[in-house]
Amino acid sequence: MKLTEHYALDEFTRSATAIANGIDNTLNPAKADDRIVVENLEHLCRDDSRNRQTCFTKKV
pLDDT in tens, 43-56: 888 887 666 655 55
Let me know: does 3 contact 42? Beta carbons within 8 Å.
yes
Q: With a cut of 50, which residues of the chain have pLDDT below it?
A: none
Let me know: does 33 contact 45? Beta carbons within 8 Å.
no
Q: Is the pTM of this model over 0.75?
A: no
Let me know: does 2 contact 40? Beta carbons within 8 Å.
no
Cα 2 to the chain's mean position, in Å?
Answer: 8
